[in-house]
Amino acid sequence: MPEPEEEARPGRATRVAKLPPRERILDAAEELFHAEGIRGVGVQAVADRAGTTKAALYRHFGTKDALVAQWLLIVAADYVAAFDRVEERWPDEPLAQIRGVAAFVVDTLSTVSHRGCPFINSLAELPDRDHPARQVIETHKARQLARLTAMCAAAGLTDPEDAAAEITFVFEGAQVSVQNGSVDRVGERLVAFVEAVLVRHGA
């Protein structure tokens, strides 16, 4: 235990150490929003967790809604990075890329534990269609589907749109199922299911 007083020091950083306040706030937002839900976390709690104050938070983001949008932008960037990684690792092997993406989703299933997908959860918490975070979610989902469709097309699957849509169903369904705990061995089932979709579409 390298930091015996991590939580003890009163006004000091609960966060790693001395990242700039903006990063600390985003990290804290990531943890708290995902764990407790957007509406379940106050700005004061985020500032406390980041080892800073509400004033600094509002100086950087102006609004809680804007902070939520920034947080989801970062989460979306993680997915983009995952797609980039599989494309870099298996160039000209679209089937391997699709399997790589599926493996990434399986990974997030465990790390995300019982709290599900941030996008799905945020969508449930933000019924207002004009909320700034909604646009982040929608463009992310659209981009992800487009990229998946491109992979399916490159793999020579019959009807790539259908295949990508089905894979998306499986991804979302797996995230939800692991959240509500109704289905066991979700990871294995996801991989097997995606494989079946590929086979059925002519892989």
Partner DNA sequence: CTTGTGTGATACCGATCGGTACCAGCTAGG
Partner DNA sequence: CCTAGCTGGTACCGATCGGTATCACACAAG
Sites of contact with a second copy (CB under 8 A): 35-37, 39-40, 114-116, 119-125, 127, 129, 137-138, 141-142, 144-145, 162, 165-166, 168-177, 179-183, 189-190, 192-193, 196, 200
| 53 contacts DNA (rule: CB under 7 A) | yes
Q: Which is nearer to DNA, 52 or 70 (CB)?
A: 52
Minimal distance, residue 16 CB to DNA, in Å = 13
Q: Are the CB atoms for 61 and 74 separated by under 8 Å? A: no
d(CA 134, CA 136): 5
d(CA 55, CA 74): 22
Token pair recorded at residue 108 = 């997030």
| 26 contacts DNA (rule: CB under 7 A) | no
| 20 contacts DNA (rule: CB under 7 A) | yes
Stretch that binds DNA, among 17-25, 120-128, 136-144, 192-200 (CB under 7 A): 17-25
Minimal distance, residue 176 CB to a second copy, in Å = 4
**Contacting DNA (CB under 7 A), which of 3, 35, 44, 124?**
44
Minimal distance, residue 146 CB to DNA, in Å = 33
Q: Which is nearer to a second copy, 16 or 142 (CB)?
A: 142
| 55 contacts DNA (rule: CB under 7 A) | yes
Token pair recorded at residue 122 = 């945020």
From 73, 190, 191, 91, select the one nearest 136 (Cα to Cα). Answer: 73
From 27, 36, 17, 130, select the one nearest 75 (Cα to Cα). Answer: 27
Crossing angle (nearest 10°) for helices 94-111 and 132-154: 140
Ranges of H-type helices in 37-131: 43-49, 54-61, 64-89, 94-111, 118-125
Token pair recorded at residue 100 = 């790589």
Q: Which residues bind DNA (CB under 7 A)?
A: 10-11, 20-22, 39, 41-45, 51-56, 58-60, 62-65
